[in-house]
Every structure is written in C-alpha cells, then in structure tokens.
Chains A and B, each alone.
Chain A
Amino acid sequence: MSTQVDITLTVNGERVSRRVEARRHLVDFLRLDLGLMGTHTGCEHGVCGACTVRVDGRIVRGCLVLAASLDGASVETIEGLSDTGEIRDLQEAFVARNACQCGYCTPGMLITAADLLRARPQPTRAEIREHLSGNYCRCTGYHAIVDAVEATARRRNGKAGP
C-alpha cells in the first residue's frame, strides 16, 4: 500500500496520466497538478460549493473526492464547459445580470445551475434556489443568480427573458 497512486483519467476530453499523493483532493489536482484554475478552493470541507465540478456527468464537490479514486473517470471543469459552449447562454445571462460580483462562487454556481437545467428545463424559482442551496455566494448576490438561471431557462424554452 502506498501514499502515491497512479491514475489515468479524462479531464475536459483530454487523457491525463499522473502520479498523485493519495490525500490529494480533486480541486488541488486540477489546480496544482493540471493548472486548471477555474475550479475554486473554498471551504475544503464540503460546505460552500465553490469547487463543484462534474465527474462522469454528475456534479460533485471537488474537495470531497480524492484524485486517487478517479482512475478511469471523466472530469469536466468550468474550462471544459466554457470551451464547448455548452453553458455560453448561462454565462452571458450571469454577465448581463451582474450575477458574478466577486466571481469566486461563479464557476460552482454555473456548473450547479447547468446541472439543474439539464434535469429540469423549466424550473421554478423555488427549484432554482433549492438546487443552488449548497452553493454559497458571500457577496450575497443570490437574487441576480436566480434571475440569470431563470432567464436562461426561459430563453432556452423560446421565451423572452423576464
């Protein structure tokens, strides 16, 4: 048994092989080992949601996943979701409504909101708030964030933004 683990996984569509410390969590792996700084380190104990990324298509807390456990997994970060254009409309809505403010929570908010819109294309404001309830915004810009998610859902459903 070793404190070093060899892993091969896919990050934003690219195959990556690294030797990692067993205790390395996914956020540090992305930021320090791969230089992907879009995923933010917040509380590092699963409360704030700033480090939300996708693993095998599902959103997770990056700080509560060991990189060592991800051999064979597919990871998507805000860089990947930005490059593919998957969430461009959501990002534009965040900008238009000043839902970013300091920007620290924004990558996690975007990935969590995108997750909701995939599962429920026409969420109510209550559903948006509930789905984002695990993501802290310490600028407390929640209204603008909910507005941006709601506007994106409406636009995707062919309606003008509210």
Chain B
Amino acid sequence: MKAPPFAYVRAASLADALARWREAGPEARLLAGGQTLLASLAFRLSEPATLIDISRVAELSGIAEAGEAIRIGALTTHAELGASELVRSRLPLIAEAVPLVAHPAVRNRGTIGGSLAFADPAAELPACCVALEATIVAVGAAGERRIPAADFFTGLYTTALAEHELIAAVEVPAARAGERTAILEVARRSGDYAMAGLAARARLEDGRLAEPRLVFFGVGQAPVLARGAMAALAGQAPGRVAIEAAQAALAGDLDPPADLHGGPELKRHLAGVLLARAVRRLGGAEEARAA
C-alpha cells in the first residue's frame, strides 16, 4: 500500500501551477487536499509521473459573497465549509452536508474542489452543487470557463474539465426566501460513502412544493437529477399521495448499478425511502434528519 514513485513540485501561484502542469504533461496530477488522490495512489489505481501541489495557491482559497451567490474557492476544506457563518446562513444544504462527508480528520484536509473534480458518484458535494444549480468556475491556459454543475458531471469519475484545466471555485446561489433543502443518506458507518443519498430542494408556496429539485447520489454513474419524481411533486402538497406518485416516477429516473453494497433493487428501495423522508423534511417535518 505504498504509492508508486513520482516527482513533486509545489506551485506558488495559479499561473505557476498551470505553467508547471503543462510542462509536466497530461500524466501529471494536481494535489490539493489529497484525501482521495493519495488513497488512490496507495492502491496504485493511477501512477502519475508528477504531483503538482496546489495546496498553497492563494487564489484558490476563501469563501465570499458574489452577488446572489456564494463563491467558494476550490481549496476550501470541508472543515472550513462547516465552520463558515456565510455557508451556514446562506447555503444551509452545504452546511448540512458537511458532517456527512467522511470523518473529522479527513474533513480537515479534503477540499470542495477535489471532491467535485474527482466526481465520485457517491459523494455529497457534487449532488449538492447540482441540486443548488451551482456554477463550476474552471481555469486553464485559455482563461476562465463557467460550467453549470448539471453539465459538469459527465460520467463515472468524469467531468467536463478539459486537459490542463482546473477548478478555481464554485459559485453557489444563496438560498432564497421560502426555500427549503435537505440532504439524507444511508451509509453503513457514519462518514462512509453513501449506499444511497439524496440532496433535495424546493420552495413551499401555500403549502405546496414549488420547483422541487431532487438529486440522488450513490445510485448512478454521477449525480442523478430525478426529473420524473420532480414533476410528480411539483405543485403538490408534501404528503403521502405526492410521495407515492414520486416514488412510482422514480423507477424511470434511476438505473442504479450494483456495487459492493448491493444490487439495483436495494438501491431503488433506499432511494424511495430517502425520497419520502426528504419530502417530509421539505414540507416542514424535522423527523428523520439523522435516520
């Protein structure tokens, strides 16, 4: 379980990182928090010739208001997200997601940029970004490119990032008045990757769900936007009838692969259970938060 040999270079700035990356070629990898990369190197799932350490690049840090959105620098750790008053007050879904991401020692180093770039289909933050219609700000030699989160996750561990393009930040629209969000998951051990999870968002208007958005994780190749279930919930009161209709529609939204946790039917069942819990949460019930 030792990583293969590689060269290491520490980037001093964003421009320096991009220059060194081009110099080192496409086989080089960026090292940010390293919480996924170093584990995958230990397994020798990849053998990059060079690691370019971007963890001290100041331009990639910080959480700040940017108009109606909150701009989160790619190097922001999960712990920093969890400690941010701005995140707590303006991005409650992200704040609720943080304790579900791994364990304290991992959250102290793992970064949001790393989580999004690695694009594990069972990870929480990619699903949150799709649920909240965040924008990924990518930077390469040609300059900055803004990619909607829904278009960013293109497949298993695959993103819309081009060669030698990195994530500089993610801009997440702040919660609007009346907006409700919830994130729920089932994991064997607290902090492990979810067997199935759901990031949900809607407004409640006159007791009915408006613009519901359901993004499942751990049940597909990437975060899954459950359009059928969303349509079944739109305009409905968040009760049993709407839940059953959405659960029925979910069958057409999901095509879960089998994994170490179990087969597709287990995932479908868990997704339906999470959907019901999430709709009750969106409707105002505080139960099932930890379940």
What residues of chain A have their CB less than 8 Å away from a CB belonging to chain B?
A: 1-3, 5, 21-23, 25, 28, 43-46, 49, 52, 58-61, 63-66, 68-69, 71, 112, 115-116, 129-131, 133-135
Contact = CB atoms under 8 A, between A and B. Distances in A.
Given A65-B34, A134-B102, 16 more contacts: A3-B5, A22-B6, A22-B51, A23-B5, A44-B42, A45-B43, A58-B79, A59-B108, A60-B105, A61-B109, A64-B38, A64-B109, A66-B8, A69-B31, A112-B104, A133-B191
B262 to A, nearest CB: 20
A144 B35 CA distance: 30
A125 B6 CA distance: 43
Given A1-B24, A23-B41, A134-B104, A65 B8 contact: no
Nearest to B79: A58
Interface string B21-58: 00010000001001100110111000000110101000
Nearest to A67: B8
B4 interface: yes
Interface of A is mostly: mixed
Contacts of B102: 134
Contacts, number: 100
Instruction: Please tell me the size bucket of the interface on B.
Output: 35 or more
A65 B109 CA distance: 9
A1 B7 contact: yes
28 contacts: A1-B20, A2-B7, A3-B7, A21-B5, A23-B2, A43-B1, A44-B1, A45-B43, A46-B39, A49-B103, A49-B105, A52-B105, A58-B108, A61-B106, A64-B38, A65-B109, A66-B31, A66-B38, A69-B31, A69-B53, A69-B55, A112-B104, A115-B104, A133-B103, A133-B189, A133-B190, A133-B191, A134-B103
A65 B79 CA distance: 16
Which 8 residue pairs across A and B have the least CB separation, nearest first? A134-B103, A22-B8, A44-B1, A1-B7, A133-B190, A45-B39, A23-B3, A58-B108
Contacts of A69: 8, 10, 31, 34, 53, 55
Contacts of B79: 58
Contacts of B51: 22, 66
B1 to A, nearest CB: 4
B56 to A, nearest CB: 9
Contact of A112 (B41, B105, B109, B189): B105
B1 A64 contact: no
A66 B29 CA distance: 14
A49 B158 CA distance: 29
B231 interface: no
Nearest to B24: A1
A133 B170 CA distance: 29
A109 to B, nearest CB: 12
Interface of B: 1-10, 20, 24, 31, 34-35, 38-39, 41-43, 50-51, 53, 55, 79, 99, 102-106, 108-109, 189-191
A99 B121 CA distance: 37
A44 B4 CA distance: 13
A60 B99 CA distance: 16
B7 A22 contact: yes
A55 B139 CA distance: 30
Contacts of A66: 8, 31, 34, 38, 51, 53
A23 B108 CA distance: 21
A18 B245 CA distance: 64
Contacts of B55: 69
A59 B104 contact: yes
A36 to B, nearest CB: 18
Contacts of B20: 1
A22 B105 contact: no
Given A61-B105, A134-B191, A46 B35 contact: yes
Contacts of A112: 104-105
A107 B258 CA distance: 37
A79 to B, nearest CB: 18
